[in-house]
Structure 1
Amino acid sequence: MTELSGDWCGMQAPETGTTIVAVSYDKVFLLRSGSAADTQLVSDYVRYYAEQHAIGLEQPPSVKTIANLVKQMNYQNKQMLLGAMIIAGWDREAGGQVYGCPIGGTLLEEPWTTDGSGSTYIWGFLDHAFRDNMSRSEAEELVIASISLAMARDGSSGGVVRLITISKDGAERRLVKGDEVLEAIFLFLVA
């Protein structure tokens, strides 16, 4: 799973392995990797606490608040949980944000992050290809190309890319199928 930030956040998950989970509101999402049972439990609790927070404050929680809920759950249960999460979204206070919460419960805000079994194959590619102030289409193509490269090397990284682009206007979803995935690698690398 790979995330990029800016005024928007491009999000994806392969068909197998990683799962996208919407958290209460259409502008904050969790991506999960590792133990499906552990990460689903954490995301269910986070959704519950985020809803309680929204009722108490009469407004949606910030992306950072939801990220801190994930961190707190993972850190307090680090001896029992085997899952990593990426928290990404958009809010009025800070715009687009991406947080990584690897196994153990550390929380890091980054311009982009990746996790899951295919991530080891694409760290160097993303370090090289990511640049600040990318356009929305450039960032979406980078996400698709990076996931495509991960899928080419990792059998657990699925066969499609589910891309979600989050902005102040909400979340837009796009499905990139197998033949388009291979084409994306070629087009990105020759551009």
Structure 2
Amino acid sequence: MTTCNENLIDEIDNLINNEEEENIDNDELEFCVAPINIPRNFIKFAKSDNHNLFNFHKGTTTLAFKFKDGIIVAVDSRASMGSFIASQEVQKIIEINKNILGTMAGGAADCFYWENYLGRIIKIYELRNNEKISVRAASTILSNILFQYKGYGLCCGIILSGYDHTGFNMFYVDDEGKKVEGNLFSCGSGSTYAYSILDSNYNFNLNVEEAVELARNAIYHATFRDGGSGGKIKMNNFSHFNI
């Protein structure tokens, strides 16, 4: 049992410290896939003209941005498959730990599973090192995990935001393992409409009330233009006043 725990800890260290690592041999990160040697070729075969696939168009609007007092995270609450609305009460903001939040855009199952898995890895890291993990390290772990499954058909667009010893930080991570740091992100089918509001009105020197109103307006307008977005507007505020 001790050996297994030590091996898992070593793999977590590799995920954090080696951003260029492409082949991480870790059984704990594997899930069941079709018994195909090269999944990418199988997907191309399945998408040929001789096969009819169900093509469910996903839809959502998520956003996050920094301002002088912290970070605002805002999402809609609709889950849809094409024209079918599955739910209007989905929670698309996931608590990774007490200091880090993640948003969901893409496949709900993919985002929910991997963000919760990230939370478990972070908990092991923090118990071992007796310190809070940084937002950058958390995003690196998630990026390396998703990179291993590039071409397997995952669909994720995740905004990780939070507070650590360096201050407020925010990263975008997608299903190909891409990781981007920035001050403003929007993801999902309604992101184009959200960006139109954000780009016109965003200013880093906003106060808390102005930042909340801007995030609300961006999601609100996206729900009117994008059929895949709707339901309620849900927001979280990381600020100097509520850390």
Q: Which residue of 2 aligns with 1:2?
A: 63
Structure 2 CA distance for aligned equivalents of residues 69 and 158 of structure 1? 31
Q: Which residue of 2 aligns with 1:23?
A: 96
Over residues 168-191 of structure 1, what are the superposed CA-to-partner deviations in whole Å (9 max), with x where a residue is unaligned? 5546xxxxxxxxxxxxxxxxxxxx
User: What's the RMSD between the two structures over aligned residues?
Assistant: 1.7
Deviation (angstroms), 1:15: 1.4
- Alignment of 1:94 with 2:166, yes or no, is yes
The structure number with the bigger radius of gyration is 2
User: Please, what TM-score do these two structures have when normalized by structure 1?
Assistant: 0.82
Q: Which residue of 2 aligns with 1:111?
A: 183
Q: Which residue of 2 aligns with 1:14?
A: 76
Q: Unpaired segments of 5 or more residues in structure 2?
A: 1-61, 80-90
Identity %: 24
Q: Which residue of 1 aligns with 2:227?
A: 155
Structure 1 CA distance for aligned equivalents of residues 122 and 242 of structure 2? 18
Structure 1 CA distance for aligned equivalents of residues 142 and 172 of structure 2? 10
| Structure 2 counterpart of 1:85, from 158, 161, 174 | 158
Deviation (angstroms), 1:109: 1.0
Structure 2 CA distance for aligned equivalents of residues 164 and 144 of structure 1? 11
Deviation (angstroms), 1:111: 0.7
Deviation (angstroms), 1:66: 1.3
Over residues 91-148 of structure 1, what are the superposed CA-to-partner deviations in whole Å (9 max), with x where a residue is unaligned? 2x22222211134221111111000111122223322211222111111111101000
| Structure 2 counterpart of 1:69, from 141, 147, 160 | 141
What count of residue pairs does the alignment treat as equivalent? 169
Structure 1 CA distance for aligned equivalents of residues 240 and 121 of structure 2? 23
Q: Is the 8 A contact 1:9 1:165 kept in 2?
A: yes
Q: Is the 8 A contact 1:8 1:167 kept in 2?
A: yes
Which amino acid is 1:10 matched to? I
Structure 2 CA distance for aligned equivalents of residues 57 and 40 of structure 1? 26
4+ residue segments displaced more than 3 Å: 168-171
Q: Is the 8 A contact 1:71 1:105 kept in 2?
A: yes
Structure 2 CA distance for aligned equivalents of residues 56 and 95 of structure 1? 23
Which amino acid is 1:11 matched to? V
Structure 1 CA distance for aligned equivalents of residues 141 and 107 of structure 2? 18
- Alignment of 1:167 with 2:228, yes or no, is no
User: Please, what TM-score do these two structures have when normalized by structure 2?
Assistant: 0.65
Q: Unpaired segments of 5 or more residues in structure 1?
A: 172-191
Which amino acid is 2:94 matched to? V
- Alignment of 1:130 with 2:206, yes or no, is no
Structure whose residues are more often strand by fraction: 1
Deviation (angstroms), 1:2: 0.7
How do 1:26-45 residues align onto structure 2 when only pairs under 5 Å count? 27-45=99-117
Structure 2 CA distance for aligned equivalents of residues 104 and 79 of structure 1? 8
Q: Is the 8 A contact 1:71 1:107 kept in 2?
A: yes
Q: Which residue of 1 aligns with 2:132?
A: 60
Structure 2 CA distance for aligned equivalents of residues 106 and 14 of structure 1? 24
